[in-house]
Amino acid sequence: MLVPDWQWGYDGWIIVITSLVALTCAIPGSFLLVRRQSMLGDAVSHAVLPGIAIAFLVSGTRDGGWMLVGAIVAGLATAMLTQVLRGVGGVDRGAALGVVFTTLFALGLVLIVQVADSVDLDPSCVLYGQVELAPLDVVVLGGMEVPRAIPWLLGVFAFTFVGVQVIWKELLVASFDPATAAAQGARPILMQQVLMVLVAAGCVVAFEAVGSILVVSLLVAPAAAARLVTDRLRPMMLVAMSIGVLAAVGGHLSALTVPGWLALETQDVSTSGATAVFATGLVALAVLASPQQGLLFGAFRRLSLRLRIAEEDLLGVLYRREVESRGLGQPAGVHLSELGGGGPGLTFRGIMRFASIRLRWAGFATQAQLIPHPDQIRLTEAGRSRATALIRRHRLWELYLAGAAAIPLDHLHATAMDLEHLANPDLLESLEAESARTARDPQGREIPGQ
Amino acid sequence: MPVHHRHRNPPIGPEHDPQAALSIHDVTVAYHRRPVLWDLDLDIPRGVLAAVVGPNGAGKSTMIKACLDLVPRVSGSIRLLGGEIGGVQGRIGYVPQRETVDWDFPVSALDVVCMGLYRKIGWFRPVRRRHRSLAMEALDRVGMADFAGRQISRLSGGQQQRVFLARALVQDAELYFMDEPFASVDAATEEAILDVLRSLRDAGRTVVVVHHDLQTTRDYFDWLVLLNTRLVAAGGIEETWTPENLRATYGGRLTLLEAAGWAMGTAGSGQRRS
């Protein structure tokens, strides 16, 4: 078996639990990201600790309902205390947040250590979680044994998902343009608090299961990765949820397998830690592969542009050779070795060779069976018409540059060589209109084409 | 936004003209105890295109925000369309300064325009097809229909400003507040915005615009509010557009260029733009 010691009744539940946490966190996480408040999620996930501890002190139980209330109150308190520090004290937003959440977190730790002697609630569990133990703590639900965390996680996920759908517009406008939202009566401050409640609720149910570090990761990382591959909020949220689940599955699987591959002594790798690392890996992947900002796509776009330019340059060379040789009865082909001079050595020649292969493959050029050079290439009919359009563009640009931009004749060719590769239809139309009915370029050569 | 001092306001006192689009009485606004607006008293009648003009820090934006209850006021009362802001929000349109929002936000131009309809749609209800087609009409009015699906960071500054304008248009408000809509836009956008503002005025709407370009003020607007923390003058453009008033507004701060702009705007009035 690929994964050692896999048990559906145990590992399956771990993945379900972590996935539910990821789904729940991705929703408010996406809003926090586009509001540029991701660190507020970090802060709230720590600051709910005293709320949980106080709820525990008051109720004396680890009942989820009490903890939920405690966490939500603490989450709202974080947002409000930060606001007060900013408003009254004039403290910078980031600094205010930093002071408030570390203080609350410290307070929470003190409280938890106080009560830890009498109960099974300890600080390391809060930080790292005990997802490995979660499947063992079961309740009977509809005749079936399920981990105790599951009904709570399902409830909070459903609440978050439905709630965000219901107040979608108001959250959206309050996040994008709070002033206009307020002028329209859309209550942006209330929306901010709703968001804090969602974050706090997600945190508290996730806490016991996966710990606060993974909560922070699942609030921020999936949303950040999703933003890189989408530019609409609704799809972004769905993508973030999928990425979160992917991280949960990948995280647990790698926690099971990676120590074996690396032949580590210990088999004790935390699923929480592995999931957080996996989520970060997915962000890195998005950075590389994002269609708009991604490094890979950028490199691919630059390379394909360079190839197109090489192809078009080669077409131009073939066309000019054909025109030159028309009167001389010479063979109208070009040998690749003739193209060596124009660029930086090997790369340039490689690209030119590749361009000539692509031209032949696409039917724009063909092998010229000419003596004395058997491997020359020349234009086909399709290639000739593409080359004609290209030369027309080149000479129209020269005409325009010489006229409107008053560029000296000996500078025309180089600039036009760059401009002829622009293929924006609007631009070309304007160019055609600019030089209507002119048949010759500034050097008196014919402008081919229509 | 919090509601400030609303309970202290009488329903509508004799100090407010019930016919005015905007009536400001004795309003003072302060940030950290420093007054930004001081004892402001003015009425703007319905159906005018009004410019709010003054030097930097004169409280122009603050005046608009106070009208919309976005900043707390220390004293005074404001009536919009004869009522308090809370009761007339649906009839008021607002175009904030372009820099106040994050243009990287993952929404399309159409999504932004639809936000103008949120109040009409109501809480908890989704945006429907008919709302989107209203938003498309508004985008078309500002010449932006072709860009409806584009993410807003991929629009030029002028295009972004026009999207904001379309969002205000779709509200179909009676009274509009616009904060520097002409700031750093291209000539085509300036023309498009001006056309829309004039058609709003011609349809009997009132538009209050924070404006910074003295050269165009006289051509564009028919009502003028000159502000420098205190009110310097307010009234029809012909009566208020005087060198004395401008000097009083800008004090020693009217730079040579602004003075030249004012002179050009006055000399060329009526000819530069029809």
- The pLDDT value given to residue B1: 43
Residue scoring higher pLDDT (B221 or A368): B221
**What percent of chain A stands above pLDDT 90?**
22
Out of B2, B32, B106, closest to residue A231 by CB: B106
Q: Where are the beta strands (DSSP E) in B4-138?
A: 22-31, 34-44, 49-53, 75-80, 92-95
Number of neighbours of residue A362 by Cβ within 10 angstroms: 13
* pLDDT (mean) for A79-105: 85
The answer to whether residue B1 neighbours chain A at the CB level (below 8 Å) is yes
Kindly give, in sequence order, each residue whose CB lies less than 8 Å from that of residue B123, ignoring residues fewer than 6 positions away.
Answer: A167, A170
Average pLDDT over residues A171-181: 94
- pTM of the shown model: 0.79
Average pLDDT of every residue of chain A: 82
Reported as a single tens digit per residue, the pLDDT across A3-32 is 667 888 888 999 999 999 999 999 999 999
Burial A224-246 (b: 16+ CB within 10 A, else e): bbbbbbbbebeebbebbbbbbbb
Element at B173 (helix H, strand E) = none
What is the per-residue pLDDT for B232? 92
- Of the two residues A114 and A245, the one the predictor is more confident about is A245
Residue to substitute from B65, B114, B115, interface A, most A β-carbons within 10 A = B115
Whether the CA torsion A45, A50, A55, A60 is positive or negative: it is positive
Show residues of chain B in contact with A173, CB under 8 Å: 115, 118
Task: Flag whether pLDDT at A386 surpasses 80.
Answer: yes
How many other C-beta atoms are found inside a 10 Å radius of the C-beta of residue A302?
10
Residue B208 pairs in a beta bridge with B50, B177
CB-nearest to A236 from B92, B106, B108 is B106
Cβ neighbours of residue A205 under 8 Å, at least 6 residues apart? A21, A24, A64, A68, A149, A152, A153, A156
Instruction: List, as ranges, residues 170-229 from B with C-beta within 8 Å of A.
Output: none
To the nearest whole Å, the CA of B87 is away from the closest chain A CA by: 10
Out of A169, A182, A233, closest to residue B118 by CB:
A169
pLDDT value of position A80: 85
What is the DSSP pairing of strand B206-210 with strand B175-179? parallel
Could you say which architecture CATH assigns to the domain A8-291?
Answer: Orthogonal Bundle (1.10)
Of A36, A184, A236, the CB nearest to B118: A184
Stretch A339-352: mean pLDDT: 63
Provide the pLDDT for residue B24. 93
Digit-coded pLDDT (tens) for A121-160: 666 666 677 777 778 888 888 888 888 888 889 999 999 9
* Average pLDDT of the segment spanning A81-91: 82
Query: B89 and chain A: CB distance < 8 Å anywhere?
Result: yes
Helix/strand/coil for B236: strand
Confidence (pLDDT) at A265 = 64
The conformational region for residue B102 under phi > 0 = left, psi -120 to 50 = alpha, else beta, is beta
Average pLDDT over residues A401-412: 76
Written out in words, the top-level CATH class of the domain with range B13-267 is: alpha beta
Backbone angles phi, psi at A380, to 5 degrees: -90, 180
Euclidean distance between the first and the last CA atom of chain A, given in angstroms as a whole number: 69
Q: Which of A208, A227, A207, A225 is nearest to A216 (CA)?
A: A207
Which residues of chain B carry a pLDDT beneath 70? Answer: 1-14, 252-274
pLDDT at A371: 57
Neighboring chain B residues of A183 at a CB cutoff of 8 Å: 68-70, 89, 92, 94
Q: What is the pLDDT of residues A408-439, one digit of tens each?
A: 777 777 777 777 777 677 777 777 777 666 77
Range in A32-41, A102-111, A169-178, A292-301 the model is least confident about:
A292-301
Determine the pLDDT at residue B167.
Answer: 96
Q: Residue A50 — pLDDT band, cuts 50, 70, 90?
A: confident
Please name the residue of chain A whose CA is at the shortest distance from the CA of residue B89: A184
Please give the CATH number for the structural domain made up of A298-434. Answer: 1.10.10.10
Closest CB to A34: pick one of B69, B106, B115: B106
For residues A55-72, give the mean pLDDT: 80
Q: Which A positions 166-185 lie with beta carbon below 8 A of chain B?
A: 166-170, 172-173, 175-177, 179-180, 182-185
* ipTM of predicted complex: 0.86
Contact between chains at A169 and B121 (C-beta distance less than 8 A):
yes
pLDDT of residue A344: 53
| SS3 per residue for chain A | CCCCCCCHHHHHHHHHHHHHHHHHHHHHHHHHHHCCCHHHHHHHHHHHHHHHHHHHHHHCCCCHHHHHHHHHHHHHHHHHHHHHHHHHHCCCHHHHHHHHHHHHHHHHHHHHHHHHCCCCCCHHHHHHCCCCCHHHCEEEECCEEEECHHHHHHHHHHHHHHHHHHCHHHHHHHHHCHHHHHHCCCCHHHHHHHHHHHHHHHHHHHHHHHCHHHHHHHHHHHHHHHHHHCCCHHHHHHHHHHHHHHHHHHHHHHHHHHHHHCCCCCCCCCHHHHHHHHHHHHHHHHHHHCCCCCHHHHHHHHHHHHHHHHHHHHHHHHHHHHHHHCCCCCCCCECHHHHHHHCCHHHHHHHHHHHHHHHHHCCCEEEECCCCCCCEEEECHHHHHHHHHHHHHHHHHHHHHHHCCCCCHHHHHHHHHHHCCCCCHHHHHHHHHHCCCCCECCCCCECCCC
- The tokens for B220 are 């564009």
CA–CA separation, A411 and A339 (whole Å): 21
pLDDT at position B259, please?
66
Residue B209: what pLDDT? Answer: 97
Delimit the CATH 1.10.10.10 region(s) of chain A: 298-434
Window 81-100 of A: residues touching B by CB (8 A cutoff) are 90
How far apart, in whole angstroms, are the C-alpha atoms of residue A51 and residue A49?
Answer: 5
Lowest mean pLDDT among A39-43, A262-266, B88-92: A262-266
